[in-house]
Amino acid sequence: MSLATAATPLNQDQALSLIESVINQSEAEGVFVRVGAEESALSRFSENQISQNVSQSEFSLTITSYFGTRSASASTTETEPDAIKAALRRSEELAQIAPEDPEWVPLLPPQSYEDRTPAFDTATATLSPLERGELIQRVCAESAAAKVDGSGTLSTETSVQAIGNSQGLRAYNQGTNVSYSYTARIEDGSSWSQRTAWAVEQLPIASLTQQIIERALASRQPRDVKPGKYPVVFDGAALADLLPWVMWNLEARAADEGRSFMSRTDESGKPVGNRLGEPLFSPLVQVQRHAAHPLLQMGTFFSDGLSNSSLEVIKDGIPQFLAYSRYWAAQQGKEPTGAMFPIVMTGSSQSLTDLIASTERGILVSRAWYVRYVNARTLEVTGMTRDGTFWIEDGQIAYPIKNLRFNQLLPEMLRDIDAVSMVHRFGNSVVPGVRVKEFNFSSVTDSV
């Protein structure tokens, strides 16, 4: 099979025909094929002018061959039949000399996926460099009028994913994505946020730009605040950098083996199961894996073929599901789940301003920056505030404060949530802003 160009994402017939061709040529006992194609474009701006405009097309084909419990993968970015056949033979040769896999699982049989089509927006897929430039030009003009230095990116992506194996599994998804990120700086003040959507018309570019400019202007001449524990209002963009750490750690094997905050141990410290079903968080914490959410409308399957169906992961603050790999599910007599992705947390009709208005005193955090583990077992992380941190007094933003480093147990943060705002999409997460009764700041930083 010969494809005209790798620059064009494959339609369903092309992608599945390519997979079928590889499977038919396979000489292995089993074979799994994954095809990905993507067209992406990005315009970057800095100091209120466009500084970069790039586009790229990518194609990848990965073949995993199986002989008994041995397997190996080989990939190619070429679409010519000879290159594909060479990758197939390479995977077979490597598989025959690979060590046996003690955690081998058989190939997936055909799966049932949600009966829906991921979002595809033609206007986003065909957005031209000129159109991106015109959108950015308006942002730059507004930044200049406010006398701030504006910088950021506007990017689009059209992607295809298709999978198949020698057991009859076949699946195909196609979708679009667009993302806007903007930073405004002036003197010693700054602000930032970003939004993502599946259609360019859904991006609130104008309103978000104005909000960021206003917050940057208000962030100048920050004052000192002593480190300590304070009530905190997190903008949704900040929560979107913290909540995924919790979701990544809802992993069954780590919990069962005593390596997770979800582990239960006896008096001697020996693992004795997990904490599934325990009321660990605030009843306001409702989190789903929900690829079909209107703001997401993402793919119906994961790259390994498992279904990306909706799951009520945390209900009323109680974890309902842990992520089970196929191997660990077989060991524990459970059903495999796939990853806890994408993340959707339920919000309310309140605005972030409403959360601030109901806060007697505390700190507004616009961004959580450079988040890293302190203790993976307890899920304590460290990071810094950035791009607009403010003191709240009597329900109002009183003044900007210098940025702070935090050391915080994230399960305790979710436990202490006492209010949520309306949701927005940040990257591939849909989350609200939240208010936390107590959050631990360990020191002041010099970051802007």
pLDDT tens digits for range 109-162 = 999 999 999 999 999 999 999 999 999 999 999 999 999 999 999 999 999 999
pLDDT for the residue numbered 119:
97
Task: Domain 12-205: give its CATH superfamily.
Answer: PmbA/TldD superfamily (3.30.2290.10)
Which residues sit opposite 158 in a β-bridge? 39, 176
Q: Above pLDDT 70, what percent of the chain?
A: 98
Q: Where are the domains of the chain?
A: 12-205, 222-250+277-321+340-448
Which residues sit opposite 289 in a β-bridge? 311, 343
pLDDT tens digits for range 373-431 = 999 999 999 999 999 999 999 999 999 999 999 999 999 999 999 999 999 999 999 99
pLDDT for the residue numbered 283:
98
pLDDT for the residue numbered 262:
98
Dihedral pair phi/psi, residue 404, rounded to 5°: -125, 145
- Tell me what the mean pLDDT of segment 323-334 comes to: 97
pLDDT for the residue numbered 448:
72
pLDDT for the residue numbered 447:
76
Report how far Cα 392 is from the mean position of its chain's Cα atoms: 30
pLDDT tens digits for range 175-206 = 999 999 999 999 999 999 999 999 999 999 99
pLDDT for the residue numbered 264:
94
pLDDT for the residue numbered 269:
84
- Is pLDDT above 80 for 2? no
pLDDT tens digits for range 7-18 = 357 999 999 999
- Is pLDDT above 50 for 366? yes
- Tell me what the mean pLDDT of segment 229-256 comes to: 98
- Is pLDDT above 50 for 1? no
